Structure 1
Amino acid sequence: MKTTRTLLLLIITTIHFAAYAQNGSLKGRLTGGSEPLAYATVVLTGTQTGTTSNDKGHYELKNIKPGSYEVSFSAIGYLTEKYKVTIQSGQVTTLSGNLKENNSKLNEVVVTGVSRATELRQNPVPIAVMTKREMNENVNNNIIDAIVKGVPGVSAVTTGPNISKPFIRGLGYNRVLTLYDGIRQEGQQWGDEHGIEIDQYGIGRAEVIKGPASLIYGSDALAGVINMIPAMPENGDGVLKGDYLADYHTNNGMIGTSLGLAYKKTDWKYTFRATAKTAHDYQNKVDGFVYNTGFREYNLSGNVRTDKKWGFWQLSGTLYDNKQEIPDGSRDSLSRRFTKQVAEGAADDIKNRPLVSDNELRSYAIAPLHQRIQHYRLYSFGELKMGQSSLDVALGLQQSIRGEYNHPTMVNQPGLYVVLNTLNYDVKYNLPAFAGIESTIGVNGMYQTNRSKAATDFPIPDYNLFDAGTFFFAKKTFGKLDLSGGIRYDNRNIRWNDFYVGPNPDNGFTKHVALPDTAGANLQFPAFRHTYHGVSGSLGLTYNVSERLLLKANIARGYRAPNITEIGSNGLDPGAHIVYLGDRTFKPEFSLQQDIGIISYLKDADLIAEFFNNNIDNYIFQAKLNDANGNPVVIVPGNSTYKYQQSKARLYGAEVTVNLHPQKLKWLAFNNSLAYVTGINKDQKLIAQSNGAAKYLPFIPPVHVRSELKFNLQQNGKTFSKTYFKLEADIYAAQNRFYALDNTETATPGYTLINVGAGTKIKTKSERTFCELFLQVDNLFDKAYQSNLNRLKYFEYYTASPNGRSGICNIGRNVSLKVMFPF
């Protein structure tokens, strides 16, 4: 019996190997230009047989039945190539492919503003995509400035090089929803004086929606969405991969360093990144070094993901810790040298402070007057496939801690200290397709608590907020026409109890006083409770005239509930040097925006034209407060007072892109864009009373033209590849359409900045990438200028100055060098 079993096993094994020997195999190498294409996809069309190339571009498919096949080679950022191949019994067939870079982005898949992953050509909403390489080539102090360079229609309100608040088509703050990996970022977005709390070196891709996205995201997406998606490197199974990055900027001495690791084991992926950045004060040729604009920032992030047949699941966490100095613009009236605050109250004479030393201006040490922003995030999301349907679930926990240390006599005593806790939730059910209609129902929102801790200034009350919205979205394809749209209902409840502020005998300032011991205290924030409701939606279409020509049209209704400062503020924000006054009677904002777009990716050119018209009811904006005699209202000495206003508004404009890349001159690209927006205040009574000073909305960017002449070396050598040189012109027109009432804004002259850049990839003899270099010189001719969105433009204590200039200029010439070492 034992002998029989052994004989049967030998026969079966022999038959198996004989059958295997009769099959053939396919191998080869994939390249892009002269570069090996690592982790590209190889598939036998119509079969389940496929693989990916290794880090040198080589691939191999074994045990293929003899016959004729179509082989598909594909990789992100490259055009898919298909070949016919015949596999013969017992033989190895060799087939290599050289893929061309895909300049057209119409086939790119986006995940922002849609219920499920969708090709750009099927999405009627205006959306732009920036890759990691594009962001690397736009070297900047922060990620938002890189996006501003790459996406027409996006601008930023700045407070020095490290603080940029994104604006889309003239709208910002809580109207632009910032996402990190699809989870909404919550960190006191109403504040001017801190950035978006995200590690710029860890971002692999950015998707920008230009227009209302309330249908999917609810309140706070009235102007659009910026979704920053972390890099998820591809690597072989059981192989630890990583990269080390070093970044240096000459203007403010910014030093950035970042280490990333990635590991894959079967269907599990792990990533980790640690980043540190530090800088001293920035400089320009008019102001010299601008005191108290340095920073020190740390970031940690980690991620684990598994992809299974049933779907996928991901768990991620981030930590952000930034000490950012607080500029106030005080200086000597004659020399224009910056001074520093060393006393408080009546003892502090703003116009007679001691001068800042040269050592302090160049020091990396954080000054006593600074803010510390900490942001912690833990989130998870996944997808469960259920036949022809699927369920997507996302949960996120965030904590934002913001402390502003503005007391020179008590440097460890924060003037502002607020802790914001947020729970995000998002559930979507993608229904099975019915009659060709893909549809999704979903519910998402958040729960928030905000608390002040051991501070001396209280611009906003402690509050609780609960937000919930439900939506339905559907799309259907009719030949070349894609039609999509949906409707949403939102409910947001915000409340706070009586908030008292009284004297603090321990430090001589004020403190939060809790009930019932409120004797001698002031009721700064009377109790408030309100629920805001909103209906939003969109309807749009795309028409694919051809593979290269696309027409888009969309109409969307946006919704935004007033934020906490707009309805509840009543105090000093020390970092902004502004006393904010809100109005609890404000109504929600509702917008109705129409978009029309023409997109054409031709053989020798990319032509894109997008036009929009946006009418907003109950538009909320901030304006300087003057008394009856026209003098600025001063509640806290040395600080401006702003009161929020509400009226109807209209914004309209266009973005036009013309990129020339002639096929006969493959080494040359001439890229051009123009962005234009006008913001009109429709409060006719106020306009008449102010003799036209209130005609325009605040924070509207001027006409912006950007041109780039880029030279790509086609003959890559064994050592250098993907070498490029570029010359850029950033042209900003004068902004004479501004909100002039009570000198809230002033006219801004136009200016042109010339930038140059270069980059290359250095390879080893084994064709592995040793490093990538990116060199950028911004403001080559050291132009002195002020952006109309530069908050420091208004940091001035004198009515006249010896050099005839007022306020603080933007950053001067900056040479930056970024080096990336993959391993």
Structure 2
Amino acid sequence: MKAPLLYCFCFFISLNAIAQKATVKGIVTSQNSPVENINIKILGTNQSTKSGSSGSYQFNGIPPGNCDLVFSGIGYQSKRIRITLKGDTTLVNADLLSLASDLNDVVITGVNRATQLRKSPVPIAVLSKKTMDQNVNTNLIEAIVKGVPGITAVTTGPNVSKPFIRGLGYNRVLTLYDGLRQEGQQWGDEHGIEVDEYGITRAEVVKGPASLTYGSDALAGVINMIPYTPNFEDGKLKGDFTANYQSNNGMIGSSLGLAYIKNDWKYTFRATGKTAHNYQNKIDGLVYGTAFREYNLSASARVDKTWGFTKTAITYYDNLMEIPDGSRDSLSRRFTRQVLDDGDDIKNRPVVPESELNTYSINPLHQHIQHYRFYNTSQFKFGTSDLNVLIGGQQSVRREYNHPTLPSQAGLYVVLNTFNYDLKYNLPDFAGIESTIGVNGMYQGNRSKAATDFPIPDYDLFDIGAFYFAKKSMGKIDVSGGIRIDRRNINWGDFYVGTNAQTGFGEQVSPNNPTGKLQFPSFNKNYYGLSGSLGLTYNISEKLLIKANIARGYRAPNITEIGSNGLDPGAHIVYLGNRTFKPEFNLQEDIGIIAYLKDADISVELFNNNIQNYIYQSRLTDASGNPVVIVPGNLTYQYQQSKARLYGAEISVNLHPRAFKWLSFNNSLAYVVGLNQNQELLNKHGRDAKYLPFIPPLQVRTEIKATAQKPVGIFDKPYIKIDAAFFADQDKFYALDNTETFTSGYTLINGGIGSALKTRKGKNICDIFLQADNIFNIAYQSNLNRLKYFEYYNRSSNGRSGIYNMGRNLSFKVIIPI
């Protein structure tokens, strides 16, 4: 009898506990208008959410008692509200003060837990979709370059931009998609980022070593591209249709996105298509070999429960992109094309017909890149602690077709399979310390298929790293730091290359094949790295703060740096690696001062970065100083290793006078110097070897923008803006063996207008953007444009060398809500 009574007693107690769970909901507004995408967090717990399109939010299953709600978001002063819950529904509305500063925004990249920008000592920048939409962008990385000082890109035409952070790029910049590291043969000069630009709603950029959280390849920093997560009323199907046209290369882009919420489930779907013919400028005309065609698909499903959430997503990327090589007729400077394999003379090729320059058709010499991604990210809550798990698989398939006599035969054909894992446990707070322990890494397998060129061997790679990170707030001071240990193994077996009897091209063969030669002897090596960081933020006041951080980064050599020995047909480069290379280590010091004044935001960031075992490319020359030609029509680069130092600054001054709320005047400056500290080269070659390659010049950007504060007819808050981008001469370049040459400075003037169109009842019809880049059609060459060096004559008939960047480009974009 006692047992049933005890059971019933416990049952009713548990029912009472369940009944006492409270609900908190409300609406977030600013200036009497609802505000979406505001972060709402319950302090002392791991529960957070965002306001929807109507400004509404809701928490369920909250234990009764006292708690604090914190509201924060880009452009708004954070607000803290203390409430008492009694087991029913509590209504908490919040009206936020509008600000021009983004210091109260919450970031998730490189900090392990959601953290306000003002509390993180690590330099982090945020770029919203709104900012990206208001600029002319030919790809996602270009949008980030325009919006974040200190970020640049090495380009190969309009569809390939490789991000650089403070003068460092390639495998030193880790790119993430929704927190999952992007793996797609990023060692190649012309290998871009395989992501749908229309599917990204936010980008977070860590400027500085982030090896503590991510391990190898985050030596320079991290770019996290975050896709859309729906947050609106239950039971609704919403979406958008984007159409974009750009005049310079006739780029036509369209994207359809859909989202649905039912109960605790959120679903998304997006399909995108882009196509463009060759781009043009007033020096070269239409640049042969720069057309592209791109398709993207993505879908996700997420469920949020009181125990946490889980999200599963899949993406598909498919890109057909031509391969420019810059060959021309010596007198007319018209572009020529390759029609022979054996016997090809790059200076005596036929001229490209006009009909093939202005066409959307992809020519036979092109790249075909496909990327598949499937991943799951989950959070499991345990009281005041939580476990975050991210597991994903991805496949990158790259084919580069470079045989005009056999167009269906790929020169390069590699398949990279990657399995990623990332586990982080956020421990309960202890003595005010928020701690995280984690382990992450990846397994990779790369295989060549039916190819003729083999710049790298088939290899296997395994990464694992463990870290501890902690942060603590002590009044006006926020301190954070941690330590990490990494191990990477990379190995491959003997790789033989022979000659195909039918085609005469190269092919992978077995060791006993009579035509076979050992191109890649077997290799097996472990690389170890110890990294960490320590930083603090001193909040002198709500309007003035100082940040300081010191971090040690680690990067194991990538596959081309230690294993390459062959032609990459897409880059037109023969790579020669060095298997004795050691890992790179760097020590970077950052200090920043940020002031939020009545009518201005001012930010000054200084950095100094010393790198041990820095790896870079240099053209290979013979004893007489002449370029070594292993494959005719292609350059030969040998990897080098030495010490290096980079230092510089980023300054932003953004004016937003309260007396003229319609006006904003934003200015930024970025400057970096890269010094080669290879003493042997310096003693032998002097200034020619003094600087590092791919270092951007001094850059200054300024923008004046006027935005109507009230609707003008159907136009809701229309704006007009004009901006100027100034790039100084780059006379600090790696001149040894003519690897780089002097680059003249230039100034580009851009402009744009845009607005939301709404009905009288306030329903959004669409958003429109009309923009112009390089309004005055300036002929210029960026020192980070690889096409600048696509030249095969010592002199030219017009005194010009290489290929110039894009000329005037008009863009029209419309986004229609569904």
| TM-score in terms of structure 1 length | 0.91
Match of 2:596 in 1: 601
The question of whether the paired residues in 1 share the 8 Å contact of 2:74 and 2:102 is answered with no
Select the residue among 659, 669, 675 that pairs with 1:674. Answer: 669
1:400 is aligned to 396
The equivalent residue for 1:457 is 453
In structure 2, the CA distance between the partners of 1:444 and 1:699, relative to structure 1 (3 Å rule), is: same
Percent identical pairs in the alignment equals 66
State the 1:169 CA deviation: 0.4
- What is the distance in 1 between the residues matched to 2:573 and 2:70? 60
1:342 matched to 2:339? The reply is yes
Q: Deviations over 1:208-260 (max 9, x none)?
A: 00000000000000000000000113221000000000011000000000000
Q: Does residue 544 in structure 1 map to residue 539 in structure 2?
A: yes
Give the equivalent residue in structure 2 for 1:379: 375
- For residue 506 of structure 2, what is the aligned residue in structure 1? 510
Match of 2:124 among 127, 137, 146: 127
Give the distance between the partners of 1:485 and 1:58, measured in 2 at CA. Answer: 36
Aligned to 2:8: none
Q: 2:577 aligned with 1:557, yes or no?
A: no
Aligned match of 1:637 in 629, 632, 637? 632
Which residue in the other structure is 1:795 paired with?
Answer: 790
Distance in 1 separating the partners of 2:250 and 2:692: 36
- CA separation of 1:337/1:735 partners in 2, compared to 1, >3 Å: closer, same or farther? same
Q: 714, 733, 739: which one pairs with 1:738?
A: 733
Contact 2:54–2:232, Cα closer than 8 Å, also in 1: no
Per the alignment, in what secondary structure is the counterpart of residue 171 of structure 2? Answer: helix
Question: In the superposition, relative to structure 1, how do residues 72 and 110 fare at CA in structure 2: closer, same or farther (>3 Å)?
Answer: closer
3-state secondary structure, aligned to 2:787? helix
Give the aligned partner of residue 425 of structure 2. Answer: 429
- Cα contact 2:483–2:531 (8 A) shared by 1: yes
Distance of 2:776 and 2:411 partners within structure 1: 40
CA contact (8 A) 2:44 2:384 kept: no
Tell me which of 260, 263, 272 is aligned to 2:269: 272
Question: Pairwise CA RMSD of aligned residues?
Answer: 2.8
Q: 1:192 to 1:73 in 2, by over 3 A?
A: closer
Letter in 1 for 2:231: E
The one-letter code sitting in structure 2 at the alignment partner of 1:322 is N
What CA deviation, in whole Å up to 9, does each residue of 1:403-449 have, x standing for no partner?
00011111110000000000000011111111111111111000000
- SS of equivalent residue, structure 1 residue 201: helix
Question: 1:300-699 to 2 correspondence within 5 Å?
Answer: 300-346=297-343, 348-515=344-511, 517-699=512-694
Whole-Å Cα distance in 1 between the matches of residues 398 and 715 of structure 2?
Answer: 46
Which of 776, 781, 790 is 1:781 aligned to?
776
Contact kept, 8 Å, 2:589 with 2:607, in 1: the verdict is yes
Q: Which amino acid aligns with 2:656?
A: H
Q: Give the conservation status (yes or no) of the 8 Å contact 1:772–1:820.
A: yes
Shift of 1:122: 1.4
Measure how far apart 1:60 and its partner are: 12
Contact persistence 1:589–1:617 (CA under 8 A): yes
User: Is contact 1:35–1:721 with CA below 8 Å preserved after alignment?
Assistant: no
* Amino acid in the other structure paired with 2:378: G
Please state whether the residue corresponding to 1:777 is helix, strand or coil: strand
Q: For 1:71-82, what aligned pairs fall within 5 Å after superposition?
A: 77-79=75-77
How far apart, CA to CA, are the structure 2 residues paired with 1:352 and 1:300? 43
Match of 1:545, SS? Answer: strand
**Residue 817 (1) aligns with residue 812 (2):** yes
160, 169, 176: which one aligns with 2:157: 160
Partners of 1:488 and 1:536 within 8 A in 2: yes
> What is the DSSP-based 3-state SS (H/G/I as helix, E as strand, rest coil) of the residue aligned with 2:198?
helix
2:387 and 2:695 map into 1 onto residues whose CA distance is: 41
Cα shift at 1:83: 10
Distance 1:795 1:177 in 2: 28
Task: Identify the match of residue 254 of structure 1 among 233, 251, 254.
Answer: 251
- SS of 2:805's partner is coil
User: 2:39·2:106 contact (CA, 8 Å) conserved in 1?
Assistant: no
Once residues 195 and 441 of structure 1 are traced to their aligned partners in structure 2, the CA distance between those partners, rounded to angstroms, is 33
Per-residue deviation at 1:455? Answer: 0.2
Q: Say whether residues 1:173 and 2:170 are aligned partners.
A: yes
Q: TM-score, structure 2 length as denominator?
A: 0.92
**Alignment match of 1:224 (pick from 201, 221, 224):** 221
Partner of 1:20: none
Q: Deviations over 1:696-742 (max 9, x none)?
A: 00000000000001111122235111211111110000000000000
The structure-2 alpha-carbon separation of the partners of 1:482 and 1:32, relative to structure 1 and needing over 3 Å to count, comes to closer
Give the direction of change, closer, same or farther, for the CA distance of 1:719–1:94 in structure 2 (3 Å limit).
farther
Distance 1:42 1:564 in 2: 44
Question: Contact 1:56 / 1:768 at 8 angstroms: preserved in 2?
Answer: no
Residue 96 and residue 218 in structure 1: after superposition, are their counterparts in 2 closer, same or farther (change >3 A)? Answer: closer
Partner of 1:149, secondary structure, is helix
Q: 2:76·2:101 contact (CA, 8 Å) conserved in 1?
A: no
Tell me what 2:21 maps to: none
Secondary structure of 2:784's aligned partner:
coil
3-state SS, counterpart of residue 350 of structure 2: coil
Q: Which runs of 5+ in 1 are unaligned?
A: 1-25, 62-68, 86-92
- Give the superposition deviation at 1:691: 3.0
**1:368–1:405 Cα contact (<8 Å) kept:** yes
Aligned partner of 2:63 in structure 1 is none
Match of 2:86 in 1: none
Match of 2:232 among 232, 235, 238: 235
Instruction: Tell me by how many angstroms 1:79 deviates.
Output: 3.9
Moved more, 701-710 or 517-526: 517-526
How much has 1:159 moved relative to structure 2? 0.5
> 1:106 Cα shift?
1.4
C-alpha distance in 2 between matches for 1:96 and 1:431: 31
In 2, are the aligned partners of 1:34 and 1:721 still within 8 Å (CA)?
no
Query: What is the distance in 1 between the residues matched to 2:621 and 2:535?
Result: 45
Out of 99, 102, 117, which is 1:105 matched to? Answer: 102
Amino acid at match of 1:663: R
Amino acid at match of 1:594: E
The code of the aligned residue for 2:580 comes to T
Q: Which moved more, 1:302-311 or 1:728-737?
A: 302-311
AA of the residue aligned to 1:541: L
Q: Could you tell me how far apart the structure 2 residues matched to 1:51 and 1:142 are?
A: 30
Q: CA-to-partner distance for each residue in 1:566-601, whole Å, 9 max, x for gaps?
A: 000000000000000000000000000000011112
User: Which residue type is aligned with residue 156 of structure 2?
Assistant: T
Give the CA deviation at 1:36: 4.9
Describe the superposition over 1:506-561 as per-residue Cα deviations: whole angstroms up to 9, x where unpaired: 2110100124x332211000001100001000010011111121110000000000
5+ long unaligned stretches in structure 2: 1-23, 60-66, 84-89
Match of 1:196 among 193, 200, 208: 193
1:402 touches 1:417 (CA, 8 Å); kept in 2?
Answer: yes
Query: Against the structure 1 CA distance between its residues 367 and 675, is the aligned structure 2 distance closer, same or farther, given a 3 Å change threshold?
Result: same
Aligned in 2, Cα 1:303/1:77: closer, same or farther, shift over 3 Å? farther
Per-residue Cα deviation, 1:25-81 (whole angstroms, up to 9, x for no partner): x9998755585546879999999x9999885668999xxxxxxx9999877644457
Letter of the aligned partner of 2:585 in structure 1? Answer: F
Q: 1:174 to 1:232 in 2, by over 3 A?
A: same
Report SS of the residue matched to 1:793. Answer: helix
**DSSP 3-state at the match of 2:533:** strand
Using the TM superposition, name which of 534-543 and 351-360 deviates more. 351-360
Q: Residue by residue, what CA displacement relative to the aligned partner does 1:136-188 show, whole Å, maximum 9, x if unpaired? A: 11220001111101100000000011100000000000000000000000000
Cα contact 2:73–2:102 (8 A) shared by 1: no
User: May I ask how many residue pairs the two structures share in their alignment?
Assistant: 785
Q: 1:726 aligns with which of 721, 725, 728?
A: 721
Partner of 2:284: 287
CA contact (8 A) 2:72 2:105 kept: no
Q: Structure 2 counterpart of 1:132, which letter?
A: K
